[in-house]
Amino acid sequence: MRNLDEETITQAVLARHADMPNGRMKEIMTSLVQHLHAFAREVHLTEAEWAEGIKFLTEVGHTCTSSRQEFILLSDTLGLSTLVTAQNHKKPRGCTEATVFGPFYVDDAPEYELGADVANGMTGEPCYVSGKVKSVTGEAVPNARLEVWQADSEGFYDVQQAGLDGHQGRGTLTADERGGFHFKSIVAECYPIPHDGPVGRMLDAMGRHPWRPAHLHFMISAPGFETLITHVFREGGEYLDSDAVFGVRSSLIGDWVRHEAGTAPDGTSSATPFYTLDFDFILNPAPAAPAPSRR
């Protein structure tokens, strides 16, 4: 097709993939082309601006490493991650809400026994975390698998620490038969997302800050239930109403309670003040498998 102009180019592109065999991909690509073209028309995008856009996306890709995912940061800071999470994790009333995954999850985090110190030397004030995993009907979910991860007191995850031998501030635990769990870690503190790269420059140009409120990550799974990916946010902390990645939910705010030096929840003696956090998680049942068809 020749002699295309700004009025005819969109339909020409759509016609080019009209016979795409994958129906879902055709739906997605058709909508993507339509919205991209509509965006360019709406803002009357200049060639110089589009070149800057391509340069920006190229820099985002080049910034990605095994320990830093700049594209996730871009998705998070534009609210796209929260939108996708919200529309894919609608749950019955009473279930714990899901929120963004974030860029600092690590596969195969070390396994810990209940009560262990998952901080593993990470800097911060001691904190003892406990709670229960339940179903929406209030029954215990036994032996649920909990993966937890968090930043240190300076706002850095272990994967951001050069030369660190092993993991800190993350681990995998198994709840007991009554759905109970408990472990030791450190107090969550607010921190900025990595903002020394293209996403940080974008936020600065938009007049936005890069800070996240203090939080602890959880991923909880159990047979017969949907996997839950969520945070618990610290009550009273900064940035709860201006989270750089739009992840806060009122139902996910928990109370870190400060205690003076003395006997800790695990029975040991703490020479310094410590905190406790008690938070229960309510899982949503997994959809029932469709019954086999009879012919």
The span from the CA of 245 to the CA of 193, in Å, is 9
**Tens digits of residue pLDDT in 81-135:** 999 999 999 999 999 999 999 889 999 899 999 999 999 999 999 999 999 999 9
Q: Is the pLDDT of residue 294 over 70?
A: no
Pairing of strands 191-192, 211-212: antiparallel
Q: Is 131 helix (H, G, I), strand (E, B) or coil?
A: strand
Same domain as 153, residue 35? no
User: Which CATH number fits the domain that encloses residue 269?
Assistant: 2.60.130.10
The span from the CA of 171 to the CA of 255, in Å, is 22
The span from the CA of 72 to the CA of 74, in Å, is 5
Any domain includes 4: no
**HSE on the CB side for 49, CA within 13 Å?**
6
**Tens digits of residue pLDDT in 17-74:** 999 999 999 999 999 999 999 999 999 999 999 999 999 999 999 999 988 899 999 9
Structural domains in the chain (count) = 2
* H/E stretch holding 230: strand 228-234
Contacts of 237 (CB under 8 A, 6+ apart): 190, 213, 214
Phi, then psi, of 31 in degrees rounded to 5: -65, -40
Measured over the CA atoms of residue 258, residue 166, residue 72 and residue 279, the dihedral's sign is negative
Same domain as 114, residue 43? no
Q: Is the pLDDT of residue 292 over 80?
A: no
Same domain as 186, residue 160? yes
Same domain as 197, residue 137? yes
Q: Which domain holds residue 279?
A: 74-283
Q: Write out the two tokens for 80.
A: 């796209």
Same domain as 278, residue 154? yes
Contact present, 167 and 202 (Cβ < 8 Å) = no
pTM score above 0.95: no
More confident residue, 28 or 165: 28
Same domain as 164, residue 26? no
Q: Is the pLDDT of residue 161 over 70?
A: yes
Contact present, 279 and 140 (Cβ < 8 Å) = no
Contacts of 263 (CB under 8 A, 6+ apart): 269, 270
Any domain includes 290: no
Name the DSSP letter for residue 98. Answer: P
Contacts of 4 (CB under 8 A, 6+ apart): 12
Same domain as 256, residue 144? yes
